[in-house]
């Protein structure tokens, strides 16, 4: 799908959609609880749909219980083999693999090729060391094994999703386990979210706040009635509109949220000052911060190596699109520099690179300069009504489905 965005004044109130990160965790926790949980403030997206499909395949009963409300009757630890379609959702895949290594029966995951190109080496190492099956193709993965209590060491600088997956699985083992994150721990805020959600389900994982979890065994998930809070990651695109255009107010993200992407506004204040901006704990903000930097005086972003492991190589993808506006961008191994240069309307269509966050970051700039985005349907991954929400603020968006 191609969208055309024309320059227009924007104003109004934007209420953040539900947090995708929290939604995945609550839905999986509910599937593990023996009983019925009520999960409120759920909105459909490709990633959340992938998790819903998987927990159904694992035996959970999921029923609508009102607008944005789901009733989830869990079945505990998965015991029967299943085929699980994860689409493009890295969270779904990485959260569920350890749970499928609790019963000793095979499970097969399938999905987008790009997803299976992203790192899974943490789990591959765990499986190889224990003699488990870990059979990967271009678009699938089959695992079979039975985890035992003990000490697990994984790198802290690849993705917090691996640690989260293990934190959901290890409490079910009949014995204490220890999870140690080696090297530099990044995306720590996501582990805090995991810790909170597990606590809501009555599961304890003792975290030292840095790199070590002590996890008592023999724990079980109890049903909850919980609401998913607003998504700071998606709210950031509208915070950027407020920064660049001035008349947009963003609501719906609690002031005390644990989400790492809550820091957009504080990081945006550093744009144009010459102060380096670390993305170690908020890599998903990279596209929108790069867009804001191109418009507001440039910036140097550090801790960017993981950007190449996302839905696209986000540093290179954003650099390519910003250059169409006349920006000068340099992408290095662990640093991205956006220079202070004047921008102009792009002369060729922008590309989403199949990445929802690239599409939304591009749209932020196009509300000022106008232009087209090819592959705009990428927003369906996390924010299907993004363009409708933009239109509600006065944005001028037209669609070409051809």
Catalytic residues: 284
Question: How much of the chain is in helix, strand and coil states, percent to nearest 5?
Answer: 40, 25, 40
Sign for the CA dihedral angle at 196, 197, 201, 204 comes to negative
Q: How many residues does the chain have?
A: 402
Token pair listed for 285:
């903000």
Closest CA to 14 of 234, 202, 182: 234
Closest CA to 233 of 270, 277, 191, 286: 286
Close Cβ partners of 256 (under 8 Å, ≥ 6 residues apart)? none
Q: State phi, psi for 81 to the nearest 5 degrees.
A: -55, 145
Task: Report the C-alpha gap between 283 and 280 in whole angstroms.
Answer: 6
**Neighbouring-strand partners of residue 300:** 337
């Amino acid at each position: 799908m191609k969208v055309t965005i024309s320059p227009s004044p924007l104003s109004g109130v934007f209420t953040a959609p539900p947090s995708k990160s929290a939604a995945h965790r609550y839905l999986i926790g509910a599937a593990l609880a023996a009983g019925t949980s009520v999960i409120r403030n759920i909105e459909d997206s490709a990633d959340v749909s992938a998790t819903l499909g998987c927990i159904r395949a694992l035996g959970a009963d999921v029923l609508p219980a009102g607008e944005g409300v789901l009733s989830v009757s869990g079945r505990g630890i998965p015991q029967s083999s299943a085929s699980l379609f994860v689409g493009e959702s890295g969270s779904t895949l990485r959260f569920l693999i350890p749970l499928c290594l609790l019963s000793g029966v095979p499970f097969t995951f399938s999905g987008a090729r790009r997803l299976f190109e992203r790192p899974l080496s943490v789990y591959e190492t765990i499986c190889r060391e224990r003699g488990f099956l870990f059979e990967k193709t271009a678009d699938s993965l089959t695992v079979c094994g039975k985890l035992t209590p003990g000490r697990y060491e994984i790198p802290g600088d690849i993705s917090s999703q691996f640690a989260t997956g293990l934190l959901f699985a290890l409490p079910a083992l009949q014995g204490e386990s220890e999870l140690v994150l080696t090297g530099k721990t990044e995306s720590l805020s996501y582990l805090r979210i995991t810790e909170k959600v597990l606590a809501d389900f009555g599961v304890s994982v003792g975290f030292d706040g840095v790199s070590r979890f002590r996890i008592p065994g023999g724990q079980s998930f109890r049903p909850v009635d919980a609401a998913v809070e607003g998504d700071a990651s998606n709210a950031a695109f509208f915070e950027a509109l407020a920064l660049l255009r001035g008349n947009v107010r963003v609501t719906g993200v609690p002031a005390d949220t644990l989400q790492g992407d809550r820091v957009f506004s504080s990081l945006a204040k550093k744009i144009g000052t010459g102060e380096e901006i670390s993305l170690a704990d908020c890599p998903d903000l990279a596209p929108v911060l790069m867009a804001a930097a191109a418009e507001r005086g440039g910036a140097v972003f550090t801790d960017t190596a993981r950007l190449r492991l996302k839905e696209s190589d986000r540093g290179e993808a954003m650099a390519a699109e910003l250059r169409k506006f006349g920006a000068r961008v340099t992408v290095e191994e662990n640093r991205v520099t956006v220079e202070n240069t004047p921008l102009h309307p792009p002369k060729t269509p922008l590309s989403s690179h199949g990445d929802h966050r690239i599409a939304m970051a591009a749209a932020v700039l196009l509300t000022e300069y106008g232009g087209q985005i090819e592959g705009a349907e990428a927003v369906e991954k996390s924010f299907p009504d993004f363009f409708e929400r933009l239109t509600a603020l006065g944005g001028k968006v037209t669609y070409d489905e051809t």
